[in-house]
Amino acid sequence: MSPKVVLVTGCSENGIGFYLAKEFASQGCKVYATARNIERMQALHHLQIDLLPLDVIDDSAIKVVINTIMANEGKIDIVVNNAGVGCYGPTLELPLEQVQAAFDTNVFSVLRVNRAVFPHMAARKQGMFITIGSVVADCTLPWGGIYAATKSAVHSLTDALEMECRPFNIKVLLVAPGSVRSNIAANQSYNPPPDTLYAKYTKKILARRDISQSSPMPTDVFAKGVVTKALAPSPPSYMSLGRNSMLFWFLTWFPRQWVLSFLWKWFGDIS
Active site residue 203: no
Mean pLDDT of 182-210: 87
Question: Where does the pLDDT of residue 11 fall: very low under 50, low under 70, confident under 90, or very high at 90 and above?
Answer: very high
Active site residue 147: yes
Which phi and psi (to 5°) does residue 175 adopt? -110, 125
pLDDT at 4 over 80: yes
The one-letter code for the residue type at 218 is P
What was the pLDDT predicted at 209?
87
Question: Where does the pLDDT of residue 211 fall: very low under 50, low under 70, confident under 90, or very high at 90 and above?
Answer: confident
Of 3, 251, 7, 27, which Cα lies nearest the Cα of 128? Answer: 7
- Domain spans of the chain? 5-267
Mean pLDDT of the residues in the chain? 94
Q: Are the beta carbons of 143 and 87 closer than 8 angstroms?
A: no
Q: Are the beta carbons of 205 and 89 closer than 8 angstroms?
A: yes
5-267, which class in CATH? alpha beta
Mean pLDDT of 13-31: 96
pLDDT at 270 over 90: no
The residue annotated as part of the active site, out of 4, 151, 171, 204, is 151
User: 210: burial class by Cβ within 10 Å (0-12, 13-18, 19+)?
Assistant: middle
Assign 3-state DSSP to the chain and report helix, strand, coil percentages, each to 5. Answer: 50, 15, 35
The residue annotated as part of the active site, out of 19, 32, 88, 147, is 147
Please spell the DSSP secondary structure of 186-241, one letter per residue: TT------TT-S-GGGHHHHHHHHHGGGSSPBPHHHHHHHHHHHHTSSS--SEE--
What was the pLDDT predicted at 157?
98
β partners of residue 80:
8, 130
pLDDT at 185 over 90: no
Of 262, 176, 259, 211, which Cα lies nearest the Cα of 88? Answer: 211
Look up the pTM and report it.
0.95
pLDDT in tens, 51-109: 999 999 999 999 999 999 999 999 999 999 999 999 999 999 999 999 999 999 999 99
Question: Where does the pLDDT of residue 45 fall: very low under 50, low under 70, confident under 90, or very high at 90 and above?
Answer: confident
